[in-house]
Structure 1
């Protein structure tokens, strides 16, 4: 079969076809089958391959290998047999809608800003396009509107294979210089581009286009968008999630951002009050402590690592000549902070970690981490190390 004359090019709307199996071999990804013709699009040009079935076999992936189009399937097929192929049409048409829409979008960006499409990737949920320069962020809504206007105009696409002479005289988008058989896809008024992908017949079949976000990326601009059925799916899950959040905040859908901001501010205020209460409590506990033999050790419930460190610092100010150990129970052990002016503290900390199945360290007279032993073992080891 001559390249670029396969069935998926002759009739991109073919959902079912029959073909002869010309080869079948077992490979690393299952069985590799070649047909005398195929409607299965092979991965290429940023567009994923088709999926579907060949007879009873599942088509997992399709790739062009040299002049052949290889179908990777889960069961062997008899060479010389006739097989019925069925395309996963929902997946294919979704890709056709989004690929065609990318042409319109990239073409209009090229017309307006003279920027090149330098990267194109089709994920199952959205499309990513990278451009060679910065698109003004304030122009993104206008570009979205222009693309949707082109869709509603229901423009007929034109696909041609110009001669080499005609190609040289033609202005078209391409990531590299091309020779030989070149497939040119034209969307009048929007774009002319060399492309090997599949497309809808008319722009109106795309349905709709929505930019999800745009940002600066490596000196250029990265844009994520959805079109067609993919846009409907995207809109569907967003509506559901917004409804859930709206119910949680008891706010109207268009007011949930404000409700979330208020919730966060209220949470910060509560956290601040809680921190103030904890500070007063720790000061109260500290007022009743005494240093015994140059050691102060405290076991307190429900202290975060930050609160442990704050408490140890508070006690160090009160007992500057003592070694301070603050411990808070966790499942299977303790979080700890030890503060001491003893220059041997790093050495002592390593010894305690070894004795107490511990992890952690620090500097500037303070170490912190976890011990995985019981309280009795912590007390005994702390007294032994720092009483020397």
Structure 2
């Protein structure tokens, strides 16, 4: 490789000088190779660095054909001396996320023997896929252990063992590795083959917050945050909880109970409302007793309410009951039924002529139409009495 990788010599380099070795145009962009760089290329699960070279934005950084390429929108002159500046906030955030992930994965591997089989470092959330199941209580125990380790401020060791040494080092890796292997060690927590960038001392991670742990394939998928991302998340959650407490007129440590009381009240009110609506459906049904076939066009109702009202009318009318609820602008939800009858052909006709979709059983169907009320009335006028 032509490029000296300054990011491996000092992970905290933010600005550097270099010589442009080559600059080639490819697919409308410029692939620039320098004699030295602090820009980390995408690899090891870590996204590429962002930043500028001579005040020109670096769009991406990749290993291409064995060389470290800076992909840029504008060209740089071959042989020129340039100044590169990386986006340090972006870089340090990724270092915090990556290092936090190593400690979490290492401690889970040590305690439960699970492998990290998938890792994604997104701009908002970090996900880890593990090969076994974990309960939320186990996840919380790991989180406490990880943060205690961070506070102890262990120094991170990065080294390149030779082939003989590797036989006696129990490092984590997703696949068999050959050639030069870079090992990243968080003493007492993790030892893993990795080409990514990490903090030099564990305390620089700040903290780790595990957000969720859900079943995924044969194991679990865990969502987590480290460092500033974790702090921002907790600060935002605290602010939201404070606002909820003010709205509910309770103390901030009482919001859970207050919300549960509110949900219980809402549940009771919904039950009472459902009972009142059912009474109104039954009253409406009583007005159609013995009418035979019935068509109703009502204001907007929920699909479940359309079904329940139609079912009530079927108990009294003695024929087909068709209820359409909605308006000419948004369309109508419908329910059509006939006790012990067969309305399949009628439903097909409704869907075809009223631009509708829906279906169900031979004696009862639900769906929706995009049509005007007068079109609905015209379709049913021959055999339904309003």
The TM-score normalised by the length of structure 2 is 0.91
Pick closer, same or farther for the CA change 1:346–1:256 going to 2, 3 Å: same
CA distance in 2, matches of 1:26, 1:137: 51
Query: Is 1:62 aligned to residue 61 of structure 2?
Result: yes
1:166-202, CA deviations, whole angstroms, 9 ceiling, x for partnerless residues?
2223222222222221112222222222110111111
Q: Which residue is equivalent to 1:140?
A: 139
SS in 1 for 2:153: coil
Cα drift, residue 48 of structure 1: 1.2
The answer (yes or no) to whether the contact 1:60–1:74 under 8 Å persists in 2 is: yes
Cα drift, residue 80 of structure 1: 2.5
Cα drift, residue 137 of structure 1: 4.1
Q: Which residue is equivalent to 1:233?
A: 232
Pick closer, same or farther for the CA change 1:336–1:17 going to 2, 3 Å: same
Which moved further from structure 2: 70-79 or 5-14?
70-79
Pick closer, same or farther for the CA change 1:55–1:366 going to 2, 3 Å: same
Pick closer, same or farther for the CA change 1:303–1:120 going to 2, 3 Å: closer
Which moved further from structure 2: 245-254 or 229-238?
245-254
How is 1:362-373 mapped onto 2 (pairs within 5 angstroms)? 362-373=360-371
CA distance in 2, matches of 1:74, 1:258: 55
The answer (yes or no) to whether the contact 2:295–2:384 under 8 Å persists in 1 is: no
Query: Is 1:329 aligned to residue 326 of structure 2?
Result: yes
Which moved further from structure 2: 280-289 or 134-143?
134-143
SS in 2 for 1:169: coil
1:317 aligned residue (315, 318, 323): 315
Cα drift, residue 126 of structure 1: 2.8
Structure 2 residue runs of 5 or longer lacking an equivalent are none
Which moved further from structure 2: 118-127 or 43-52?
118-127
How is 1:330-369 mapped onto 2 (pairs within 5 angstroms)? 330-332=327-329, 333-340=331-338, 345-369=343-367
RMSD: 2.4
Which moved further from structure 2: 259-268 or 128-137?
128-137
1:194-236, CA deviations, whole angstroms, 9 ceiling, x for partnerless residues?
1101111111212222222233433323332222112111112
Cα drift, residue 29 of structure 1: 7.2
Q: Which residue is equivalent to 1:268?
A: 267
The answer (yes or no) to whether the contact 1:125–1:234 under 8 Å persists in 2 is: no
Cα drift, residue 2 of structure 1: 6.1
1:132-158, CA deviations, whole angstroms, 9 ceiling, x for partnerless residues?
223454333332222222222221222
The answer (yes or no) to whether the contact 2:285–2:317 under 8 Å persists in 1 is: no
Q: Which residue is equivalent to 1:11?
A: 10
CA distance in 2, matches of 1:341, 1:263: 41
Cα drift, residue 90 of structure 1: 0.6
The answer (yes or no) to whether the contact 2:47–2:121 under 8 Å persists in 1 is: yes
Query: Is 1:128 aligned to residue 127 of structure 2?
Result: yes
Which moved further from structure 2: 360-369 or 94-103?
360-369
Structure 1 residue runs of 5 or longer lacking an equivalent are none
The answer (yes or no) to whether the contact 1:54–1:83 under 8 Å persists in 2 is: yes
Pick closer, same or farther for the CA change 1:232–1:291 going to 2, 3 Å: same
Which moved further from structure 2: 60-69 or 337-346?
337-346
How is 1:96-175 mapped onto 2 (pairs within 5 angstroms)? 96-135=95-134, 137-175=136-174
